[in-house]
Amino acid sequence: MPIAGKATLTQYIIEERRRHPGATGALNALITDVSLACKAISRKVALGALGDVLGSASTQNVQGEEQKTLDVLSNDMFLRANEWGGHVAGMVSEEMEEPYLPPQQQYPRGKYLLLFDPLDGSSNIDVNVAVGSIFSILRAPTPEADAKPEDFLQPGTEQVGAGYAIYGPSTMLVLTLGNGTHAFTLDPQLGEWVLSHPNLSIPRQTSEFAINASNSRFWEPAVKRYVDECLAGKEGPRGIDFNMRWIASLVAETHRILMRGGVFMYPRDSKEAGRDGRLRLLYEANPISFLIEQAGGMASTGRRRLMAVEPESIHQRIGFVFGSSDEVARVEAYHSEEPQDTYQAPLFGKRGLFATAA
Ligand SMILES: O=P(O)(O)OC[C@H]1O[C@](O)(COP(=O)(O)O)[C@@H](O)[C@@H]1O
Ligand SMILES: [Mg+2]
Ligand SMILES: [Mg+2]
């Protein structure tokens, strides 16, 4: 029985399965397991200091980043919730250098690959700002066998499902199975995800952008030009005032854009040699792109469709621009119009607002 006329997550995925007559139910079961991990993480996050889970784990992950206690705990919850069902052939996590294969003697191998960022935006935990978990589901090239590292290197267009949970004032799960993007709110009393926002749709136009402006001296000319024009407001070439946001939590920024539009940029920059961007392709940018496209938005590297990128390594980083389609298309156009070092931005010059030279 739907709750207050709204479907639950279980009812929604059963209904979705009817579109695929040959389906075995394994994908539904996997999504249920993922959503269970998210409920467990939500409980831990909500306890905050009382759960004794804040602060650093005093370890580093494969990318050399400090691991928070909750990063490690959340990773463990994802692994435990998803290994026993026998639906995955292997998992890739931000927190683990190599793909994880569930112990063979205990758990059977399934036909899916699960890739996840168990806790996204973890620099925000200690200050009680929204964080989340992001996941992507691919088909295992060899079902029922141990997944090989190269099996995970599939472009985002191959995803069969993707989503995130956001642990904010309310806990929500936002999901796509390739048939629209839908948001479920967790009813904490019932422990049920209830379909509160079906068929999300991102407006094509927006006057809100999100970027970490402290990186401005490392940006490429096209990004400088785009931001500069937004900052120039009514008097500038865009002729409107823009609003700016930066939460430093990809799930929270994505959620805002899915709810009211906007554009997010963590573009390729020159901050660290040999690094294309900040965000990870397989378990951050690809699943967010799938959700954004299914809600009518655009997701790009800044130059081309992000989900078309052929991955080269499991922890690969990438430039990422997504949101309202008119703005993302504009950023792509600026990249093709502005070859390196051509744009002399007034706001980024010697005496500008974001001065780049002393
Ligand atoms: O610290 P910065 O440069 O503002 O970067 C923030 C970005 O880093 C992230 O926190 C990276 O995710 P993790 O916390 O999972 O490493 C994103 O959520 C966010 O968009
Ligand atoms: Mg992350
Ligand atoms: Mg993370």
Helices (DSSP H) in the chain: which residue ranges? Answer: 9-17, 26-47, 69-83, 221-232, 250-260, 286-294, 325-337
Which atom of ligand 1 is nearest to 252's Cα? 18
Given this model, what pLDDT does residue 349 score? 47
CATH number at residue 145: 3.30.540.10
Pick the last residue of a domain from 163, 197, 231: 197
Measured from the CB, is residue 212 less than 6 Å from ligand 1?
yes
Which residue, by CA, sits nearest to atom 15 of ligand 1?
120
CATH code at position 337: 3.40.190.80
- Rounded Cα distance, 180 and 291, in Å: 8
* Residue 245 C-alpha from the chain's centroid: 17
* Neighbouring residues of the ion ligand 2, judged by CB less than 5 Å: 117, 120
Query: 166 and 134 in contact (C-beta within 8 Å)?
Result: no
Amino acid 58: pLDDT: 67
Residue tagged 């409920």 (tokens): 39
pLDDT value of residue 265: 98
Q: Is 115 helix (H, G, I), strand (E, B) or coil?
A: strand
> How would you write the pLDDT of the chain (358 residues) with one tens digit per residue?
567 789 999 999 999 988 888 888 999 999 999 999 999 999 999 998 887 777 777 677 777 777 778 999 999 999 999 999 999 999 999 999 999 998 877 888 999 999 999 999 988 988 999 999 999 999 999 998 999 999 999 999 999 999 999 999 999 999 999 999 999 999 999 999 999 999 999 999 999 999 999 999 999 999 999 999 999 999 999 999 999 999 999 999 999 999 999 999 999 999 998 888 999 999 999 999 999 999 999 999 999 999 999 999 999 999 999 999 999 999 999 999 966 555 555 554 444 455 444 3
User: Which atom of ligand 1 approaches the CA of 122 most closely?
Assistant: 14
Residues 21 and 152 in one domain: yes
On whether both 46 and 131 belong to a single domain, the answer is: yes
Question: Angle, nearest 10°, between helix axes 69-83 and 26-47?
Answer: 150
In a domain, 186, yes or no: yes
Residue 248 CA: which ligand 1 atom is closest?
Answer: 6
Task: Indicate if 164 and 226 belong to the same structural domain.
Answer: no
SS3 content of the chain, % helix, strand, coil (to 5): 35, 25, 40
Are the C-beta atoms of 132 and 164 separated by less than 8 Å?
A: yes
Same domain for 19 and 104? yes
End-to-end CA distance of the chain: 66
Check whether residue 188 and residue 214 sit in a common domain: no
Flag whether 16 is in a domain.
yes
Same domain as 295, residue 189:
no
Note whether residue 1 is domain-resident.
no
149 and 283 inside one domain: no
Residues 273/296, Cβ–Cβ less than 8 Å: no
Range of the domain at 314: 208-348
**Which pLDDT belongs to residue 5?**
82
Ligand 1 pocket member 277 (CB < 6 A): no
CB-count exposure of residue 205 (10 Å: 0-12, 13-18, 19+): exposed
The answer to whether residues 187 and 215 belong to one domain is no
Count of domains for the chain? 2
